[in-house]
Structure 1
Amino acid sequence: MKLKKIITTVSGVVLSFTLACQTLAKENMVLVVSTLNNPFFVTLKDGAVKKANELGYDLVVLDSQNNPAKELANVEDTIVKNAKVILINPTDSEAVGNAVLAANKAGIPVITLDRASIKGKVISHIASDNIAGGKMAGDFIFEKLGATAKVIQLQGIVGTSASRERGEGFIKSQQQNNFTLLTAQPADFDRAKGMNVMQNLLSAYPSVEAVFAENDEMALGAVRAIKTAGREDILVVGFDGTDDGIKSVEKGKLAATVAQQPEKIGAIGIEVADKVLKGEKVDEKIPVELKLITK
C-alpha cells in the first residue's frame, strides 16, 4: 500500500513536470501579423494556428494593423514576456528592421513570412517567389493581348518586399514582351483604395486594356471601378489566390490570379520555428510554389 502511494506520488511529480513543460512550450511561439484586415493574412494566420495546434503549441497571434509602430510594440511586448521564437509577417520590409534588431539584441530567433526584412538577422524567410509571380502575370497579359497591350499597374504598400519583387517581375515581362506600361500607382494592397485609384486612372488613361494588381484585394477594387465605368472589356490580373480572388476568376470577372499558398506559408513557418526550438538547422530561405489560376 505504501509502495503504491509512493509510486502515485512519484507519478504525480512526473506528471506535474510534464504539464509544466507543455505550458512553457505553449508560450514559446509568437506570430506578429501585418494586418488581420486582409483575407490573405487571415489565411496565413489560420495555417500557422492549425500547424501549431498539431505540434502542441498554443500560438500567440498579434495584429500590427498595418502600423510599423504597433508592430515594434508587439515585438517588444513578446520580448518582455520571454518569447523563445518570433514569427513576423512585416508591415514594411524596412521599418520592421527595428523590431528584428530588438529581437536580435534580446537573443530571440526571428522568422519572416511572405515579406522580408532589410535589416537585422533573420534565421529563415518563408515566401513565394514574388519576382517569378510578377513575371507570370505580365506574361499572361502578353499572351492574351500581345505587344500592343496598354497596361496599368496597381502597386502594393511601398517599401514591402512583396510589392517591390512583384513589380520587378512584372517589369521584366514588360521589357521582354514590349507591351506598354501606361502608369504604376500605389493602392496599398487595399480593396477600397484599389477601386478609388482605378476610378481616377480610368479617366486619366482611357486607352487602358489591362490591369496588373499586386494583390487580389486591389484587383477586386479595380474590377468594381471598371464595372461602374462600363469598361468590362478591360482584363484584370491579381495576385495571391485568395478565396475572393478565385471566386472572381470563376465568375469571369478577374481574368487570372497568381496564387500563393498563404496557409502553407503559415504552416511551414511553425514547422521551422519548431525546429529552431529543438536546436535543429533550418534553411535561410524556403520558397513556396506559385501557380496561375484562370477560369
Structure 2
Amino acid sequence: MKRRNSIWMIILVVLMTISLIGCGTTQSNLENKEAPKPTDKVTIGFSISTLNNPFFVTLKEGAEKAATEAGAELLVVDARDNTAKQISDIEDLIQKKVSVILINPTDSAAVVSAVESANKANIPVITVDRASNGGTVVSHIASDNVKGGSMAADYILKTLGNKGNLVELQGIAGTSAARDRGQGFHNVVDGKDGVKVVASQPADFDRAKGLKVMENILQGNKDIKAVFAHNDEMALGALSAIQAAGKSDIMVVGFDATDDAVKAVKEGKMAATVAQKPDLIGKTSLETALKVANGEKVDSSIPVELELVTK
C-alpha cells in the first residue's frame, strides 16, 4: 500500500511540474510576443493642381522633404488641371481619413464643394498658392500675388521710362493667382499717361498656349514694348513667339522663377521673373499642416516672401 501511495505521489508531482512548465511557457510567450504598437504618424493629403508645371513639382518636393524630416506621411494627388478630378481626388483623401488636407486649387470657385466635404468630415483644410472662394480654410499659404504683379509692372515701367504698349498673358480664369497677379499689374499700369495695355488674353499658365496666343497678338499689334505673363511657362512660350518673329526688342517678364526662366534671364533673353520660392511654400505648407494636426493654432494667412530676379 505504501509503495502504491508513493507511486501516486510521484505521478502527482510530475503532473504538477508539467502544468507549471506549461503555464510558464505560455506566460513567457505572451510576454515575448510583440503587441501591436499604436502609431502616432500623421498622414497629410496634398491635392496639387498639376505636376506638369515645374513650379508645382518644386513645391511638391519641398513638402515631401519636410514630411520625411518630420516622419510624417504625405499622400500627393495630381489633378492634372482638371477640376472634376481634383474634387474626386479630395473625396478619396477624405475616405482615407487623412489628418489634414493641403489643396492647391485648379479653380478657386469650383474647389469650394470639396473644401466643404472635408469640413463635414472634420478634416482641416489648408490652401496652398491659390485660395478657395468658400468653405472653411484653417490657413492660406502663398506669396503675395498682388504685390508680385505690382513688382513686375514697376520694373517694366521703370525700364521703359513710363511709356509704351504692353501685353498681359493671363493665367487660368478662376484661379486666385491669376486674379491677384493681374490686379497687382493693373494697379500700377492703369491710368498711366503714355502706357497702354493693347492685349490682355488668357493662356492658362501653359507654355504652348503662351506661344500661340503671343503669335496671334504679334500679328495684330506692331509696336509692343513689353509682355507680362502671370507665370514663367507662358512667358517662355511668349519668348519663343517673339524670337521667331524677330522682335528681340520686346522685353518679357514672368512670374515663379522656374529654372528655365532664371536661365533665360541670365542669358538676357527674358528681362525678369518674380521669384515665389515654391520649395519654401511647400515646406511651410507641410509644417503648418503638422501644427494643425497636433492641435496648434496657426495664422489664417501665411505669406512667403517674393523677390525680383533680373540679370
TM-score (norm 2): 0.88
Q: 2:281 aligns with which of 265, 270, 275?
A: 265
- 2:204 maps to 188
CA contact (8 A) 1:213 1:237 kept: yes
Instruction: Note the aligned Cα RMSD (angstroms).
Output: 1.8
Q: 1:218 and 1:261 mapped to 2: Cα distance?
A: 18
- 2:9 maps to none
Amino acid corresponding to residue 98 of structure 1 in structure 2? S
Q: Is the aligned partner of 1:285 residue 2:301?
A: yes
Percent of residue pairs bearing the same amino acid type: 54
Structure 1 residue 81: Cα displacement:
1.3
CA contact (8 A) 1:147 1:180 kept: no
Q: 1:206 and 1:39 mapped to 2: Cα distance?
A: 32
Q: Is the aligned partner of 1:215 residue 2:231?
A: yes
Q: 1:104 aligns with which of 94, 115, 119?
A: 119
Q: Is the aligned partner of 1:252 residue 2:268?
A: yes
Q: Is the aligned partner of 1:173 residue 2:188?
A: yes
Q: How many residues align?
A: 286
- 1:162 maps to 177
Q: 1:273 to 1:11 in 2, by over 3 A?
A: farther
Q: 1:73 and 1:167 mapped to 2: Cα distance?
A: 30
Q: 1:110 to 1:10 in 2, by over 3 A?
A: farther
Structure 1 residue 160: Cα displacement:
0.3
Q: Is the aligned partner of 1:294 residue 2:285?
A: no
Q: Is the aligned partner of 1:275 residue 2:294?
A: no
Q: Is the aligned partner of 1:21 residue 2:43?
A: no
Q: Deviations over 1:83-108 (max 9, x none)?
A: 12100000011111111011111111
Amino acid corresponding to residue 45 of structure 2 in structure 1? V
- In the TM superposition, what are the counterparts of 1:135-154 in structure 2 within 5 Å? 135-154=150-169
Q: 1:95 aligns with which of 104, 110, 121?
A: 110
Structure 1 residue 72: Cα displacement:
0.4
Q: 2:127 and 2:116 mapped to 1: Cα distance?
A: 13
Q: Deviations over 1:56-88 (max 9, x none)?
A: 012110000101100000011111111121000
What SS does structure 1 have at the residue aligned with 2:224? coil
- 1:237 maps to 253
Q: 1:162 and 1:73 mapped to 2: Cα distance?
A: 22
Q: Is the aligned partner of 1:9 residue 2:34?
A: no
Task: Pick the structure with greater CA Rg.
Answer: 2
Q: 1:81 and 1:31 mapped to 2: Cα distance?
A: 12
CA contact (8 A) 1:64 1:71 kept: yes
Q: Is the aligned partner of 1:48 residue 2:63?
A: yes
Q: 2:108 and 2:29 mapped to 1: Cα distance?
A: 56
Structure 1 residue 177: Cα displacement:
4.3
Q: 1:145 to 1:270 in 2, by over 3 A?
A: same
Q: Is the aligned partner of 1:128 residue 2:143?
A: yes
Amino acid corresponding to residue 294 of structure 1 in structure 2? T
Structure 1 residue 7: Cα displacement:
11
Amino acid corresponding to residue 265 of structure 1 in structure 2? I
Superposed structure 1 runs of 4+ greater than 4 Å apart:
5-8
What SS does structure 2 have at the residue aligned with 1:59? strand
Q: 1:220 to 1:271 in 2, by over 3 A?
A: same
Q: Deviations over 1:226-265 (max 9, x none)?
A: 0000001100000011111111101111100000011111
Structure 1 residue 214: Cα displacement:
0.4
Amino acid corresponding to residue 231 of structure 1 in structure 2? K
Q: 2:300 and 2:308 mapped to 1: Cα distance?
A: 26
